[in-house]
A and B are shown apart, each in its own frame.
Chain A
Amino acid sequence: MEAVVFFVLAAIALTGALGVVLSRNPVYSALFLVLAMITIAGFFVMQDADLVAIIQIVVYASAIVVLFLFVIMLLGVDRHENLNDPLRLQRPLAIGLGLLLIGEVLVLAGREWVTGESSVRGALDEPATGNVERLARSLFTDFFWPFEVTAALLVIAVVGGVVLARRSRRPAATASGDDA
């Protein structure tokens, strides 16, 4: 039963992933990306990781892809892509790394074949402690320092982005008012 669910989800996820790469229209690519993301959330549910599944939908399937679509729509999709790479080595390098990845996956798949069973580490959702509690405990104890550093890094990135995007034209600038 779980193997059936797994293979159905895997087929949908692969369709989505291929659609992202093969679509000519960037909006279609973004929509296929949503499909792939939601299917991956399904995989998380199969592993009893409900919280991660929901976060996958909230963050990736909605927030991030909506942002992609926003940019695509505002910049216009009718423009033709320039297929001449500015970096000449990019394409052979990408092909080489892709082949390496396929080889790696095939080697792994040769040893372990999917059964659809939950991972050997056991369900995250044990009866004693819920999914959220387990995740919160590891975030705020074992991984507290990396977690806080990541948060600080994100804040720095946002502030940096605002500063870089801010272009003041007048020599003696005033804070922008309602009419600015």
Chain B
Amino acid sequence: MTAAMNAASLLATLMAGDPALAGKLDGGIVLLVAVKVVVAFAVLLVAVMLYIWGMRKVIADMQNRIGPATAGPFGVLQTLADGVKLFFKEQSIPSSADRTVFRLAPYLSILPAFLMFCVIPIGGTVSMFGHRTNLQVADLPMGVLFILAMSGIGVYGVMLAGWSSGSKYPLLGSVRASAQVLSYEAAFGLGILGVLIQAGTLSTRGIAAQQAWVSWRSIFTDWYLLPCLIPFAIFLIAAVAETNHPPFDLVEAEQELVGGFHTEYTGIRFAIFFLAEFMNVITMSAVAVTLFLGGPSGPAFGFLPAQGSVNVWFVPVFWFLVKLLALLFGTVWLRASLPRLRYDQLMALGWKWLIEIAILWVMVSAGFVVARDRDWPLWAYGAITGSGLLAWGMLYLSIPKPGEPVEDFR
């Protein structure tokens, strides 16, 4: 086995499923991967720019204002102007700060946000530089778990930023943030598990492929939107909480914490935190599109040749972007309309409702999948599910409610 073959097999393990990496490794493939990484990063940066502009415009419209209007047509370059301004501002470091960690923290928060986006399939399989490849940076066999891992790693940025600032309010903000993200990680994972049980694969491309477009009925039968409606709701709530997006933005509650974990940050480091936050919002919406809304699946343009470059290159990306925009509009709507939750409400929602409902749903749908695979009659499945729910209900009733007298342990 030659060294090149070894490298190819190593890369194939990392990115299994991409046809370009199945064979021997050559310069073209390296170039291909490099181009995909750079393009993905640039697309994400531009998407954040446009998202911030769109968010300000939509919120302004909802509040009967005009919003950014001077920089560029319709103010579309406003974010760029803000970015340039932040780039040239002075970067101060507090004297009580831990300087190394203080400098490191912004990059720790932006790296997972980008890596998470790498496993999202945004289009079909196309030809580039003479190789067949997926429009996706990496198709990991464990893609969905990789998303979970990266959202877990993302806590470090916020946590270390607050701690290393060496002052009170950032620390409080970062303790809140890590508690919130850790609490909702469970509900987030269980929401995804609802899809995984139905799909039977951990690859994001595999999940998207199972929701491929056949006819208009695919929306109801092939997409995981209806079969996993409850996990979808749980996933959306948990993802909003994971990204510290309103109404779960207790991390940066101005009234209580000055600015939260980024109080002491200025200039480009401050901008990087916000870049990471909005990248996370976009990536989480993209994950939701991939898992529940069919990813790039959508009707081809019938008046054009089916194997033409428009239908192969453009149409899947177009449908992906349409769904992504719908979800992103939803996040802006949330930001414009909902007041911030109290801390105890946040914890109660996560621990007392979302996790319980998600676990129940995982059990019910696992039973359903087994019954479908084994051709069990409906009544048998109903009896098993019913007895399970009964047992759960009895357990629930046995938990002492507020104000109810309980025996002392000592």
- With A66-B182, A69-B159, A132-B202 in contact, do A175 and B152 touch (Cβ < 8 Å)? no
B149 x A57 contact (CB < 8 A): yes
A178 x B402 contact (CB < 8 A): yes
B13 at the interface (CB under 8 A from A): yes
In the bound complex, what is the Cα–Cα distance between A174 and B10 (angstroms)? 59
- With A62-B153, A62-B155, A173-B408 in contact, do A70 and B400 touch (Cβ < 8 Å)? no
A173 x B406 contact (CB < 8 A): yes
Chain A 123-145 interface residues, beta-carbon cutoff 8 Å to B: 125, 130-132
B153 x A61 contact (CB < 8 A): yes
- With A166-B409, A174-B403, A175-B401 in contact, do A73 and B175 touch (Cβ < 8 Å)? yes
In the bound complex, what is the Cα–Cα distance between A45 and B146 (angstroms)? 13
In the bound complex, what is the Cα–Cα distance between A31 and B107 (angstroms)? 14
Q: How many A-B residue pairs have CB under 8 A?
A: 104
A2 at the interface (CB under 8 A from B): yes
A175 contacts which of B149, B159, B178, B406 (Cβ < 8 Å)?
A: B406
B145 x A174 contact (CB < 8 A): no
B6 at the interface (CB under 8 A from A): yes
The interface residues of chain B lying within 8 Å CB-to-CB of A63 are: 152, 182, 185
The interface residues of chain B lying within 8 Å CB-to-CB of A166 are: 409
A58 x B13 contact (CB < 8 A): no
B405 at the interface (CB under 8 A from A): yes
B98 x A2 contact (CB < 8 A): no
The interface residues of chain A lying within 8 Å CB-to-CB of B163 are: 27, 69, 73
A27 x B152 contact (CB < 8 A): no
Chain B 1-18 interface residues, beta-carbon cutoff 8 Å to A: 3-4, 6-7, 10, 13-14
B404 at the interface (CB under 8 A from A): yes
The interface residues of chain A lying within 8 Å CB-to-CB of B159 are: 66, 69-70, 73
| 1/0 contact string of A1-26 vs chain B (CB within 8 Å) | 11001000000000000000000010
In the bound complex, what is the Cα–Cα distance between A116 and B201 (angstroms)? 29
A58 x B145 contact (CB < 8 A): yes
The interface residues of chain B lying within 8 Å CB-to-CB of A48 are: 13
A66 x B152 contact (CB < 8 A): yes
B405 x A174 contact (CB < 8 A): yes
B410 x A168 contact (CB < 8 A): yes
Chain B 133-163 interface residues, beta-carbon cutoff 8 Å to A: 140-142, 145-146, 148-149, 152-153, 155-156, 159-160, 163
B101 at the interface (CB under 8 A from A): yes
In the bound complex, what is the Cα–Cα distance between A51 and B144 (angstroms)? 11
B156 x A34 contact (CB < 8 A): yes
The interface residues of chain A lying within 8 Å CB-to-CB of B101 are: 27-28, 31
- Distance in Å: Cβ of B170 to nearest Cβ of chain A: 11
| 1/0 contact string of A34-53 vs chain B (CB within 8 Å) | 10000000000110101101
A70 x B403 contact (CB < 8 A): no
Chain B 154-180 interface residues, beta-carbon cutoff 8 Å to A: 155-156, 159-160, 163, 171, 174-175, 178-179
The interface residues of chain B lying within 8 Å CB-to-CB of A66 are: 152, 155-156, 159, 178, 182
B10 contacts which of A2, A25, A55, A61 (Cβ < 8 Å)?
A: A2
A125 x B13 contact (CB < 8 A): yes
The chain A residue with its CB closest to the CB of B5 is: A1
In the bound complex, what is the Cα–Cα distance between A116 and B142 (angstroms)? 23
A176 at the interface (CB under 8 A from B): yes
The interface residues of chain A lying within 8 Å CB-to-CB of B344 are: 178
B142 x A58 contact (CB < 8 A): no
The chain B residue with its CB closest to the CB of A61 is: B153
The interface residues of chain B lying within 8 Å CB-to-CB of A54 are: 142, 145-146, 149
- Distance in Å: Cβ of A78 to nearest Cβ of chain B: 10
The chain A residue with its CB closest to the CB of B348 is: A178
- Distance in Å: Cβ of A79 to nearest Cβ of chain B: 15
The chain A residue with its CB closest to the CB of B152 is: A62
The chain B residue with its CB closest to the CB of A178 is: B402
- Distance in Å: Cβ of A10 to nearest Cβ of chain B: 16
The interface residues of chain B lying within 8 Å CB-to-CB of A51 are: 142, 145
B402 x A176 contact (CB < 8 A): yes
B153 x A57 contact (CB < 8 A): yes
The interface residues of chain A lying within 8 Å CB-to-CB of B142 are: 50-51, 53-54, 131
In the bound complex, what is the Cα–Cα distance between A166 and B407 (angstroms)? 13
Chain B 87-145 interface residues, beta-carbon cutoff 8 Å to A: 98, 101, 140-142, 145
A171 at the interface (CB under 8 A from B): yes
A163 at the interface (CB under 8 A from B): yes
In the bound complex, what is the Cα–Cα distance between A168 and B406 (angstroms)? 11
The interface residues of chain A lying within 8 Å CB-to-CB of B405 are: 172, 174
A107 at the interface (CB under 8 A from B): no
The interface residues of chain A lying within 8 Å CB-to-CB of B98 are: 25, 27
In the bound complex, what is the Cα–Cα distance between A180 and B410 (angstroms)? 20
Chain A 149-170 interface residues, beta-carbon cutoff 8 Å to B: 163, 166, 168
The interface residues of chain B lying within 8 Å CB-to-CB of A125 are: 13, 141
B400 x A175 contact (CB < 8 A): yes
The chain B residue with its CB closest to the CB of A116 is: B6
A105 at the interface (CB under 8 A from B): no
What are 5 residue pairs bridging A and B, where the CB atoms are less than 8 Å apart in the complex?
A: A54-B146, A62-B149, A168-B409, A174-B403, A175-B400
Knowing that A31-B160, A54-B142 touch, tell me 6 more A-B residue pairs with CB under 8 angstroms. A58-B145, A61-B153, A69-B159, A70-B175, A175-B404, A176-B402
Which residues of A does B touch, CB under 8 Å?
1-2, 5, 25, 27-28, 31, 34, 45-46, 48, 50-51, 53-55, 57-58, 61-63, 66, 69-70, 73-74, 125, 130-132, 163, 166, 168, 171-178
